[in-house]
Structure 1
Amino acid sequence: MVFGNALLEIGTFVGYFVVLILIATLSYRKQKSDKDFLLGNRSLNFWLTALSAHASDMSSWLFLGYPALIFTTGLFSAWAAIGLTSFMFLNWHFIAPKIRTVSEQVESLTLSSYFESRFSDTSGAIRIVSAAMSVLFFTFYITSGLQGLGVLVESLFNLNYFIGISIGLSIVMLYVFMGGYRTVAWIDLFQGFFLLGVIAIIPIYLLTSFGGIGPVLHAVKVKNLSTSLFPDFSLKTFWQIFLTASGWGLGYFGQPHIITKFMGIRKVEDMNKAKCLGISWQATALFAATLVGLIGIYIFPQGLADPEQVILNIVKTTLAPFFAGLVLCAILAATTNVMAAQILVVASNLSEDFYKRIFRRHASSSELLWVSRASVIFISIVGFSIAFFRISSIYALVQYAWAGLGASFGPLLLLSLYTKSINKYGAFAGIFVGGVVAAVWPYFDGLYHLEIPSLIPGFALGIITIQGVSFLMRKRLTLPIEP
Structure 2
Amino acid sequence: MAINVPGLISVIVFYLIILVIGIIAGRKTAKSGTTQEMLVADRSMNLVVAFFTLAASHIGGGYINGTAEIMASSGAVWAQAPVAYCISFIINGIFFGPKMRRAEYITMFDPFQIKLGKRVGALMCVPQFLGDLFWTASILAALGSTISIILDADEIVSIVISAIVAIFYTFLGGLWSVAYTDVVQLLCIAIGLVIAAPFSLIHDAVDIERVVDTWQGNLQPNQIGYYIDVYCLLLFGGIPWQAYYQRTLACKSPESARLASFLASIACFLFAIPAAIMGIAGASANWNETNYQGLIPIPQDKMSYILPLTLQHLCPLPVAIIGMGAISAAVMSSADSSILSTASVFASNIYRELFRKHASDREILWVLRISIIVTGTLATTIAITAKSVYGLYVLCSDLMYVILFPQLVAIMYFDVTNAYGSITGYVIGFLIRILGGEPLIKIPALVKFPFYDSEFGQGFPFRTFAMLLSFIAIIGISKLFEYLFLSGKIPIKYDIFLCSSPNFRNRLKMFKSTQEMKRDMREYVEMKKISSFKGEHVIL
Q: TM-score range by the shorter chain?
A: 0.7 to 0.9
State yes or no: 1:227 paired with 2:215. yes
Residue 52 of structure 1 corresponds to 53
Deviation at 1:368, TM superposition (A): 0.7
State yes or no: 1:270 paired with 2:251. no
Q: Of 144, 147, 151, which residue of structure 2 is paired with 1:157?
A: 151
Q: Of 416, 419, 436, which residue of structure 1 is paired with 2:414?
A: 419
**Given that residues 408 and 435 in structure 1 are in contact (C-alpha distance below 8 angstroms), is that contact kept between their aligned partners in structure 2?**
yes
Change (3 A) 1:389 1:80: same
Change (3 A) 1:461 1:318: same
Deviation at 1:372, TM superposition (A): 0.7
Q: Of 360, 380, 383, which residue of structure 2 is paired with 1:384?
A: 380
State yes or no: 1:330 paired with 2:329. no
Change (3 A) 1:113 1:374: same
How many angstroms apart in 2 are the aligned matches of 1:62 and 1:271? 23
Deviation at 1:167, TM superposition (A): 1.3
Q: Which runs of 5+ in 2 are unaligned?
A: 288-295, 449-456, 492-540
- Give 1:23's aligned amino acid: I
Residue 71 of structure 1 corresponds to 72
Change (3 A) 1:272 1:360: closer
Query: Cα RMSD between the aligned structures?
Result: 2.8
- Give the fraction of aligned pairs with identical amino acids, expressed as a percent: 19
Q: Which runs of 5+ in 1 are unaligned?
A: none
How many angstroms apart in 2 are the aligned matches of 1:482 and 1:284? 56
- Give 2:4's aligned amino acid: A
How many angstroms apart in 2 are the aligned matches of 1:16 and 1:446? 48
TM-score normalised to structure 2 length: 0.79
**1:280-339 deviation per Cα after TM superposition (whole angstroms, max 9, x unaligned):** 211111232222211110125643241111111111113232321121111111111111
Deviation at 1:207, TM superposition (A): 3.7
**Given that residues 47 and 277 in structure 1 are in contact (C-alpha distance below 8 angstroms), is that contact kept between their aligned partners in structure 2?**
no
Map 1:298-309 to 2 at 5 A.
298-300=284-286, 302-305=296-299, 306-309=302-305
**1:57-112 deviation per Cα after TM superposition (whole angstroms, max 9, x unaligned):** 1222123233222222122212343222223222222222112112x1xxx31222
How many angstroms apart in 1 are the aligned matches of 2:46 and 2:435? 40
Deviation at 1:436, TM superposition (A): 5.4
**Given that residues 23 and 186 in structure 1 are in contact (C-alpha distance below 8 angstroms), is that contact kept between their aligned partners in structure 2?**
yes
Q: How many residues align?
A: 465
How many angstroms apart in 2 are the aligned matches of 1:447 and 1:439? 9
Deviation at 1:147, TM superposition (A): 0.9
Residue 115 of structure 1 corresponds to 112
TM-score normalised to structure 1 length: 0.88
- Give 2:404's aligned amino acid: F
Residue 487 of structure 2 corresponds to 479
How many angstroms apart in 1 are the aligned matches of 2:434 and 2:194? 35
- Give 2:134's aligned amino acid: F
Residue 101 of structure 2 corresponds to 100
Residue 190 of structure 2 corresponds to 196
**Given that residues 343 and 380 in structure 1 are in contact (C-alpha distance below 8 angstroms), is that contact kept between their aligned partners in structure 2?**
yes
Deviation at 1:450, TM superposition (A): 0.9
Residue 373 of structure 1 corresponds to 369
Residue 405 of structure 1 corresponds to 400
Map 1:274-293 to 2 at 5 A.
274-293=260-279
Q: Which moved more, 1:195-204 or 1:167-176?
A: 195-204
**1:367-422 deviation per Cα after TM superposition (whole angstroms, max 9, x unaligned):** 1111111111112222222222242264x454333222233321122222223232
**Given that residues 250 and 455 in structure 1 are in contact (C-alpha distance below 8 angstroms), is that contact kept between their aligned partners in structure 2?**
no
Deviation at 1:432, TM superposition (A): 4.8
Change (3 A) 1:437 1:378: farther
Change (3 A) 1:466 1:79: same
How many angstroms apart in 1 are the aligned matches of 2:34 and 2:11? 32
How many angstroms apart in 2 are the aligned matches of 1:435 and 1:55? 30
SS at match of 2:79: helix
**Given that residues 143 and 158 in structure 2 are in contact (C-alpha distance below 8 angstroms), is that contact kept between their aligned partners in structure 1?**
yes
**Given that residues 199 and 314 in structure 2 are in contact (C-alpha distance below 8 angstroms), is that contact kept between their aligned partners in structure 1?**
no
Which one has a bigger Cα radius of gyration? Answer: 2
How many angstroms apart in 1 are the aligned matches of 2:446 and 2:64? 27
Q: Of 7, 10, 28, which residue of structure 1 is paired with 2:8?
A: 10
- Give 2:154's aligned amino acid: N
How many angstroms apart in 2 are the aligned matches of 1:303 and 1:242? 30
**Relative contact order, CA 8 A, sep 6+: which one is greater?**
1
How many angstroms apart in 2 are the aligned matches of 1:200 and 1:438? 39
**1:136-167 deviation per Cα after TM superposition (whole angstroms, max 9, x unaligned):** 22221121122112212322333333222211
- Give 2:335's aligned amino acid: M
Residue 430 of structure 1 corresponds to 425
Deviation at 1:238, TM superposition (A): 5.4
**1:209-261 deviation per Cα after TM superposition (whole angstroms, max 9, x unaligned):** 679x9x42x32257xxx4336x57x8657545423421311112211211222
**Given that residues 351 and 368 in structure 1 are in contact (C-alpha distance below 8 angstroms), is that contact kept between their aligned partners in structure 2?**
yes
